[in-house]
Amino acid sequence: MDREPPEPPENPERCVGIDVGILKYAHDTDGTAVGSPDLSAERERLEREQRSLSRKEHGSNNYEKQRRRVAECHADLRRKRRDFLHKLSNYYAREYDLVAVEDLNVKGILESPSNSRNTASAAWRTFLTLLEYKCEREGTQFVAVNPRGTTKECASCGVSTDKPLWVREHTCPACGFKADRDANAAWNILSRGLENVGVGHSESTSVETALPVDTDSVSAKRVVEAGSPTLKEQTASAVSE
């Protein structure tokens, strides 16, 4: 049975735009930047177990035991990454009335020669799929917008400016608006999302005042432990599956 889409929210303050990236996993329009999960210890353990497996005689009992250990390492990596994605997507679906994201061609990005390993480990496809599902479950409007130019365009005046990946601040040569590169992109994503559902911001509210000045940088560990990327008091049970 098909479900009716959620009604567009009446309160724009309950809307958020999310830009996913490499240096930070997610950056939203409320000024929260969530770091990627640190799985270095798990990867090191996996590499050790794989080296040990390569030294075992194929088909022996010791080989089979070691093969199971390698499989357990892979499963542990998947579990911890997915736990992070579940809790992050839960937070956004429950905290907001509308969530806007980029309609990313993840497969095309993964096939490109640059940043493929980082992009693959970020599991953007899984995050966006979980987020869309949970927004539907919570009655939250989920909007995927055209990603073209979200990083280049000025969120304040719309002028497009090319900038290489290493430039992390947006500075508009036309209006002088300055913001974190990802924050600027997140605001463009939200603006497009609101346009798609027919919700707009008040003309008296400029993007300079709407965008947070400071960024609350949150580690992935805090998301997993507390279930929330913000400073609000949240319990793990409040964001459990």
Q: Which residues are catalytic?
A: 19, 102, 182
The dihedral sign for the CA sequence 186, 236, 122, 230: positive
Q: How far is CA 22 from CA 37, 65, 127, 142, in A?
A: 11, 36, 14, 22
How far apart are alpha carbons 129 and 178 in whole angstroms? 32
How far apart are alpha carbons 201 and 194 in whole angstroms? 8
How far apart are alpha carbons 117 and 22 in whole angstroms? 10
DSSP string over 29-96:
TTSEEEPPP--HHHHHHHHHHHHHHHTSPTTSHHHHHHHHHHHHHHHHHHHHHHHHHHHHHHHHHHH-
